[in-house]
C-alpha cells in the first residue's frame, strides 16, 4: 500500500458583484414601498433597508481617505468592505439622511451610492452601477446599440452567458433594468447584485463554541488572546459531511466521565460493568473529587452539538465508552483497560496519559495491549506528553511511554498552538506523527513551583474549552492545586446554562490527543471498514503543513506530518476504490481514482500506464511491464 497524494481543499467565497443606483436620494422613487426586479419573467419583491447604503468609489481613491470623507459627510457610521472599491455603510443617525447621502453622491471620487435591499426572506444585498442583461437571439447588434444608447448605458463586460452594462449614478437602476426587460428585447435584465455567498458549513448553536478555536479559528478573542485565522481543524467543513455515527464508539481511558453529564448524557455513553480500573465501585467509571481530566477529554470528542448549551464535540453523534483509572491502578491493570475496550466493542481508544520515561518498552504488557488493539482493528491514539520547554530553555523534551511504543499504526499526537506553531511544551521528536491544536504554553510560575530554573511563556496558561464536573468540583471553579495562573477560585465560564459543567481551562497534548481521536471517529463514521493503518495514513496524509518547519518526505520532528485537518481527512475517507484488474494495456492509459486497486495487469506494445490516485494505490497479484513499456505511479 502506497500513499500517493494528499487531498487538498480550495474554498472560494464568490462575491457576486451587484449594484443598484437611484436617480439621487432626492429624486428616486419612494423606497418606503416595496419594489421589485425581474428575474427572467418573475417579479422578485424587495424592500429597502433604510439605514444602509452601498457605495462604489473610484479605484484611485484610497480606502482610508474614502472612510474619512464618508465619516465627515455621514456622521457616525459602520463600514464593511466587499472588495477594494465597494463598501456597505450603516448609518447610525438617519436625521437629514437624504441631504447627507446626496453630498456623498456629488463627490467626483464616488461612482455610485444606492440603497441596500432585502428579499422577502430577509436576505440583504446591494446594488451599484451595473445591469446584467442577455439579449434575445433575434436582436441584431445595431439594435442592441440603439437600446443601450437610449438608456445611456455603456458596455462593461461581455461573456457567452451575459453582458454587463454600466449606468449613470444619477439614474434609478431598478427602474431602468425593469424598463429594459419590459421592452421585450431581453431574456433577462436585472441590477447586478452584490451579496456574499455562504459557505454552507455547520456552525452549532452551543454558546461556548465561539471559544473553541480548535474547531474554528477566525482570529477571534478568547481567554484574553486571539490567534491566526484558520489555525484549526476545519471542523465545520467536516461536519457538512458527517457529525459522526452512533455505531462508532470511542473509549476514553482516563479519570472517568460523569454519569448523565448535561452535555454528554448516558444515551451517548457506553457505561459498562467492570469499566473502573481504579479505586471504588468497579462498575462505576465516574470521576471523583476534582478529577475532571476524563470529562475534558470525552467532551472534546463527543459533547452534544446544537443543544443550546456548552460546547460541541468533534464527533458529537458518536458514543463515548468511559474507562477509569487513578493512582491505585497498576501497570498490568492499564493493559487490562486497553484489552477491555477492545473486547467490548470500542473502535478507537483515546489515551491522554503516559509515564515519564523515554523507554519505549517500559511496560511490555501495555505495548502488547496496544498491539492487540491494533491487530483487532481498533485505532489507538496516545498523547506524546508535555516534556519540552522550547521557548526559554531550548529543551526539545521527549515522547513519553507508551506514546513511544514501537507499534505500527499507533498514533502519537503532539500539540500546536493558536498561531499554527508547535506548542512550547510539545516534544520535538521523530516519533511525533501528527499535532492538533491546544494551548500555547504553560506559565513560568508552573516551572518555578516545580523547581525548574526556566520554562514557560509569561501570560500563557490553559485555554481550551470542554466539559467539567457539574457543580464546583473539577476545573471550574479553578482548584487550589494545579496551574497558576489562573488564580485559585477563578470561574470560567461564569455565565450560561449549567456553566459550572464546563471549563475554559484545559490543554496540553492531553487536549490534542482526543482531537485526533475525534477526527478518527469521523473517518470511521463515513467509512467503517478502514483499518487502523488506513486511518493513520489518511490523517497523516491530509494534515496541514504548518509553521516554518522543514518537512522532509512530508514530515518534520516538530509537528510530524502536520496539523490534523478534519475536513480533508473526512473527504479522503469517503473515497471509493477504482479497480483496474485483469487488463492488458497496449496504448497509453491513465487510471484516475481516490484509491486505485491494480491487479493482474500486463503493460506491453511500448505503452505507458499511469496510475493517478488521490489517496492510495494497492498493487496485487501479477503485474508485468514489457520492455519498452512503462508504469508511472503519481
Is residue 46 assigned to a domain? yes
Task: Assess whether 232 and 306 both reside in one domain.
Answer: yes
Task: Assess whether 85 and 141 both reside in one domain.
Answer: yes
Say whether pLDDT at 5 is over 70.
no
| pLDDT per position as a tens digit, 432-489 | 999 999 999 999 999 998 899 999 999 999 999 999 999 999 999 999 877 999 999 9
pTM (2 decimals)?
Answer: 0.67
Q: CATH number of the domain at 164, please.
A: 3.30.70.80
Report the chain's C-alpha Rg in angstroms.
30
Domain termination site, one of 161, 196, 231: 196
Quote the pLDDT of residue 497.
96
Under a CB-based contact definition with an 8 Å cutoff, are residues 542 and 573 in contact? no
Interstrand relation of 249-254 and 379-383 (parallel, antiparallel or unpaired): unpaired
Whole-angstrom distance, CA of residue 404 vs CA of residue 427? 11
Task: Assess whether 589 and 536 both reside in one domain.
Answer: no
- pLDDT tier at 15, thresholds 50, 70, 90: very low
Residues forming beta bridges with residue 502, ordered by sequence position: 467
Q: CATH number of the domain at 283, please.
A: 3.40.50.200
How large is the average pLDDT for residues 340-355?
Answer: 98
Least trusted range by pLDDT, from 202-211, 325-334, 584-593: 584-593
Instruction: Give CA separation, 230 vs 322, 407, 417, 492, 523, in Å.
Output: 31, 32, 12, 25, 21
| CB neighbourhood size of 95 (10 A) | 8
Task: Assess whether 190 and 223 both reside in one domain.
Answer: no
Q: Percentage of the chain surpassing pLDDT 70?
A: 92
How large is the average pLDDT for residues 138-148?
Answer: 95
Domain that holds residue 396: 217-569
Task: Assess whether 164 and 68 both reside in one domain.
Answer: yes
Is residue 201 assigned to a domain? no
Q: Name the residue with cell 495514513.
A: 537
Task: Assess whether 357 and 479 both reside in one domain.
Answer: yes
Quote the pLDDT of residue 622.
67
**How many independent structural domains does the chain possess?**
3
Is residue 11 assigned to a domain? no
Quote the pLDDT of residue 30.
47
Is residue 452 assigned to a domain? yes
Quote the pLDDT of residue 23.
31
DSSP string, 525-576: HH-TT--HHHHHHHHHHT-B--TT---BTTBBTTTBT-B--HHHHHHHHTPP
Task: Assess whether 185 and 241 both reside in one domain.
Answer: no
Task: Assess whether 607 and 529 both reside in one domain.
Answer: no
Task: Assess whether 63 and 179 both reside in one domain.
Answer: yes
Is residue 286 assigned to a domain? yes
Q: Strand, coil or helix: what is 180?
A: helix
Quote the pLDDT of residue 593.
65
Is residue 477 assigned to a domain? yes
Is residue 64 assigned to a domain? yes
Whole-angstrom distance, CA of residue 352 vs CA of residue 213? 20
Strands (E), 31-148: 35-39, 42-57, 77-81, 86-91, 110-119, 124-135
Task: Assess whether 265 and 167 both reside in one domain.
Answer: no
Under a CB-based contact definition with an 8 Å cutoff, are residues 324 and 256 in contact? yes
| Cα-Cα-Cα-Cα dihedral sign, residues 61, 64, 67, 68 | negative
Domain termination site, one of 547, 569, 591: 569
| pLDDT per position as a tens digit, 80-93 | 888 888 999 999 98
How large is the average pLDDT for residues 191-212?
Answer: 85
Whole-angstrom distance, CA of residue 505 vs CA of residue 516? 19
C-alpha cell at 609: 500506464
Task: Assess whether 66 and 192 both reside in one domain.
Answer: yes
Q: Percentage of the chain surpassing pLDDT 90?
A: 76
Quote the pLDDT of residue 600.
87
Whole-angstrom distance, CA of residue 424 vs CA of residue 404? 19
CA angle 164, 168, 170 (to 5 degrees): 140
Task: Assess whether 274 and 320 both reside in one domain.
Answer: yes
Is residue 7 assigned to a domain? no
Q: What distance, in Å, lies between the first and last C-alpha atoms of the chain?
A: 13
Domain termination site, one of 546, 569, 592: 569
Q: Name the residue with cell 509515564.
A: 355
Say whether pLDDT at 25 is over 60.
no
Q: Residue 190's closest CA among 158, 168, 170, 162?
A: 162
Amino acid at each position: 500500500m502506497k500513499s500517493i497524494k494528499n487531498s487538498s481543499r480550495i474554498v472560494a467565497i464568490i462575491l457576486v458583484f451587484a449594484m443598484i443606483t437611484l436617480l439621487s436620494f432626492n429624486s428616486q422613487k419612494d423606497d418606503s414601498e416595496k419594489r421589485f426586479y425581474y428575474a427572467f419573467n418573475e417579479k422578485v419583491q424587495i424592500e429597502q433597508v433604510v439605514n444602509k447604503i452601498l457605495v462604489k468609489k473610484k479605484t484611485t481613491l484610497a480606502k482610508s481617505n474614502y472612510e474619512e470623507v464618508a465619516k465627515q459627510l455621514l456622521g457616525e457610521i459602520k463600514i464593511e468592505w466587499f472588495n477594494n472599491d465597494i463598501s456597505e455603510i450603516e448609518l447610525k443617525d438617519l436625521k437629514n439622511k437624504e441631504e447627507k447621502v446626496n453630498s456623498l453622491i456629488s463627490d467626483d471620487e464616488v461612482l455610485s451610492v444606492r440603497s441596500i435591499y432585502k428579499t422577502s426572506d430577509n436576505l440583504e444585498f446591494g446594488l451599484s452601477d451595473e445591469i446584467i442583461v442577455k439579449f434575445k437571439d433575434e436582436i441584431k447588434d445595431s439594435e442592441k446599440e440603439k437600446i443601450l444608447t437610449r438608456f445611456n448605458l455603456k458596455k462593461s463586460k461581455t461573456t457567452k452567458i451575459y453582458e454587463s452594462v454600466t449606468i449613470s449614478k444619477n439614474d434609478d437602476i431598478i427602474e431602468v433594468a425593469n424598463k429594459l426587460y419590459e421592452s421585450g428585447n431581453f431574456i433577462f435584465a436585472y441590477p447586478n447584485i452584490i451579496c456574499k455567498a455562504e459557505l454552507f458549513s455547520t456552525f452549532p448553536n452551543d454558546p461556548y463554541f465561539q471559544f473553541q478555536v480548535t474547531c474554528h479559528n477566525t482570529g477571534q478573542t478568547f481567554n484574553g488572546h486571539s490567534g491566526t485565522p484558520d489555525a484549526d481543524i476545519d471542523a465545520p467543513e467536516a461536519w457538512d459531511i458527517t457529525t459522526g455515527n452512533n455505531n462508532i464508539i470511542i473509549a476514553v481511558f482516563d479519570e472517568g466521565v460523569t454519569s448523565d453529564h448535561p452535555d454528554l448524557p448516558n444515551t451517548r455513553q457506553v457505561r459498562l460493568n467492570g469499566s473502573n480500573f481504579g479505586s471504588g465501585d468497579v462498575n462505576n467509571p465516574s470521576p471523583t473529587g476534582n478529577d475532571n481530566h476524563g470529562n475534558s477529554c470525552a467532551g472534546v470528542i463527543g459533547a452534544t452539538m446544537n443543544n443550546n448549551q456548552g460546547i460541541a464535540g468533534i464527533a458529537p453523534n458518536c458514543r463515548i465508552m468511559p474507562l477509569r483509572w487513578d493512582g491505585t491502578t497498576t501497570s498490568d491493570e492499564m493493559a487490562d483497560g486497553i484489552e477491555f475496550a477492545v473486547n467490548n466493542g470500542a473502535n478507537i481508544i483515546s489515551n491522554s496519559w503516559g509515564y515519564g520515561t523515554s523507554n519505549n518498552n517500559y511496560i511490555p504488557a501495555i505495548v502488547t495491549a496496544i498491539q492487540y488493539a491494533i491487530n483487532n482493528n481498533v485505532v489507538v491514539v496516545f498523547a506524546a506528553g508535555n516534556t519540552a520547554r522550547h521557548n526559554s530553555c531550548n529543551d526539545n523534551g521527549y515522547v513519553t511511554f507508551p506514546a513511544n511504543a514501537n507499534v505500527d499504526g499507533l498514533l502519537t499526537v503532539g500539540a500546536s498552538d493558536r498561531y499554527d506553531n508547535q506548542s512550547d511544551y510539545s516534544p520535538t521528536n521523530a516519533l511525533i506523527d501528527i499535532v492538533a491544536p491546544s494551548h500555547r504554553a504553560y506559565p513560568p510560575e508552573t516551572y518555578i513551583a516545580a523547581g525548574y530554573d526556566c520554562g514557560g511563556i509569561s501570560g500563557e496558561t490553559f485555554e481550551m474549552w470542554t466539559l467539567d464536573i457539574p457543580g464546583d468540583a473539577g476545573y471550574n471553579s479553578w482548584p487550589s492545586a494545579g496551574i497558576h495562573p489562573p488564580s485559585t477560585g477563578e470561574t470560567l465560564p461564569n455565565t450560561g446554562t449549567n456553566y459550572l459543567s464546563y471549563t475554559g481551562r484545559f490543554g496540553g497534548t492531553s487536549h490534542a490527543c482526543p482531537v485526533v481521536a475525534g477526527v478518527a471517529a469521523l473517518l470511521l463514521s463515513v467509512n467503517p471498514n478502514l483499518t487502523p493503518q488506513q486511518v493513520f495514513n489518511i490523517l497523516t496524509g491530509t494534515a496541514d503543513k504548518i509553521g516554518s518547519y522543514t518537512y522532509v518526505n512530508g514530515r518534520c520532528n516538530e509537528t510530524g506530518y502536520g496539523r490534523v485537518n478534519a475536513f480533508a481527512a473526512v473527504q479522503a475517507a469517503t473515497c471509493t476504490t477504482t479497480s483496474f484488474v485483469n487488463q492488458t494495456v497496449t496504448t497509453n492509459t491513465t487510471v484516475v481514482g481516490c484509491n486505485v486497486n491494480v491487479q493482474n495487469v500486463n503493460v506491453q506494445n511500448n505503452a505507458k500506464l499511469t496510475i493517478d490516485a488521490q489517496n492510495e494505490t494497492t498493487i496485487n497479484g501479477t503485474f508485468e511491464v514489457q520492455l519498452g513499456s512503462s508504469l508511472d505511479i503519481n
